[in-house]
Structure 1
Amino acid sequence: MPGTDDAGAAQQAGGQPKQERARRTKAQILRAAAEIFAEHGYAAVTLQDVAARASMTKGAVYFHFANKQVLALAVVEEHYRRWPPLLERVRALGLSPLESLLAVLDGTAEAFRHDTVVQAGARLQIERSLIDADLPQPYVWWPEVLAELIAKARDAGQLRPETTPESLARVFVSAFFGMQHTSDVLTGRADLMDRYVEMRDALLKGFVVG
């Protein structure tokens, strides 16, 4: 007869595919929810809409997400999980401080242009008054990150010595999120990269040395 250790190993092996299926199903629901939230906004979406977009039953959606508020919160949280890996990827490139700043800004713009989860998270944050859930506080992580990158570029002599990192970071955050929202409203973000480059170059023009 197999020992208890063998039985436990068999149970664990048998449970792993089920856990993986549940993870994939949850990810599929999140992707579908992000798509439909980005397209139609929070108020117009139902869990039945999400289920239909995900090609599954409403019960399957309810199994993973108790209600629309919980699902919206999950999408917003997934939005914010996109940014630390972006920062780590840029750091791993070994770029100069100014190049690192530009790479982070460029990567963020690309995500807003192409990543549905990012787009949905941004829209849901704008509509946070409609959502009965404790969403993450927006616009607080980015100024700290950008201020650090700007300070390093200034200290390396790549930005003018009178540059105030905290102020420039706040301006970048305000301009960026206003820019992406304007692009979304007017063109569905089709012109986002053009608008972004205009904004980036205009803001940095008076600060870059050389």
Structure 2
Amino acid sequence: MTTAPTHAHDTRPRRPKQERAVRTREKVLDTAARLFAERGYTATSVVDVAEQVGMTKGAVYFHFRNKEAMAVAVVENDHRFWPDLLAEVRAEGLDARETVLRFLDRAAEAFRSDPVVQAATRLRSERSLIGTALPEPYVGWIELLTGLFEEAGRAGRLKEGLTPRAAAHVVVASFHGVQHVSDVLHRRTDLMDRWQELRDITLEAILPRPREGR
């Protein structure tokens, strides 16, 4: 009598299932970001997110244990966005001065149109309503811009007597103030105009245009 073969454990790769889970999590998070940006933290529920995604509440909880975890994940995504954006700008091969300006141009556009950036900004302003700590704001921006202004200084493009960190503090405060005022008054529809004003007045002083022949 022959013995029936013993089936070995299934060792086929599980990547497709894992990739589906990653895509689903990203879809949930993108939807949560859009709702946080539009409605705010307290007016957005897990049920709202589930309905928008077309999932059950339980399926959403599989990816995020609660609404607080969603909020933290949105802000973490925002923090990862800026170094990635800078890498894209650096790939354009611009000089030190133009790299700073191009990065901030792209950042202003992101505040105007990107739901994750908008959601993270609103969540930070509503942090007292969220039952957990969010990643620390602005510090990453200050460090990133300090590095860019250091490069501009080495290239002779930073205003004489101005330290890179002081320049970074001024720009971070001014930039975020401009986007906040634009949001409160006009839902950021005028943000690119307001950014251009800041660019012309403040950035041109911090990063003077090179003189002819230099």
TM-score (norm 2): 0.89
Cα distance change, pair 195–2 in 1 and its aligned pair in 2 (3 A) = farther
Is 2:39 the counterpart of 1:40? yes
Residue matched to 2:169: 170
Q: CA deviation at 1:134?
A: 2.4
- Residue identity matched to 2:43: A
Unpaired runs of 5+ residues, structure 1, are: none
Q: CA deviation at 1:2?
A: 9.2
- Residue identity matched to 1:123: R
User: Any conservation in 2 of the 1:112–1:180 contact (CA below 8 Å)?
Assistant: yes
Distance in 2, matches of 1:54 and 1:101, equals 37
Any idea what SS the aligned residue of 2:158 has? coil
Q: CA deviation at 1:199?
A: 1.0
Matches within 5 A, 1:77-92: 77-92=76-91
The runs of 4+ residues in structure 1 deviating greater than 6 Å are none
User: Any conservation in 2 of the 1:155–1:161 contact (CA below 8 Å)?
Assistant: no
Any idea what SS the aligned residue of 1:82 has? helix
- Residue identity matched to 2:20: R
Distance in 2, matches of 1:20 and 1:94, equals 34
Residue matched to 2:19: 20
Which protein shows a greater Rg? 2
Any idea what SS the aligned residue of 1:94 has? coil
Query: How many percent identity over aligned positions?
Result: 51
Aligned length: 205
Matches within 5 A, 1:194-205: 194-205=193-204
Any idea what SS the aligned residue of 1:38 has? helix
- Residue identity matched to 1:82: F
Unpaired runs of 5+ residues, structure 2, are: none
Q: Which has the higher helix share?
A: 1
Q: CA deviation at 1:103?
A: 1.3
Q: Deviations over 1:144-196 (max 9, x none)?
A: 21122122223322233222211111011011111111111111111111111
Matches within 5 A, 1:88-99: 88-99=87-98
Distance in 2, matches of 1:151 and 1:101, equals 11
Q: Deviations over 1:52-99 (max 9, x none)?
A: 121222111111111110111111111111111111112222211001
Residue matched to 2:160: 161
Residue matched to 1:180: 179
Distance in 2, matches of 1:206 and 1:35, equals 36
Range with greater deviation from structure 2 (157-166 or 97-106): 157-166
Residue matched to 2:99: 100
Any idea what SS the aligned residue of 1:206 has? helix
TM-score (norm 1): 0.91
Distance in 1, matches of 2:10 and 2:77, equals 37
Distance in 1, matches of 2:96 and 2:10, equals 55
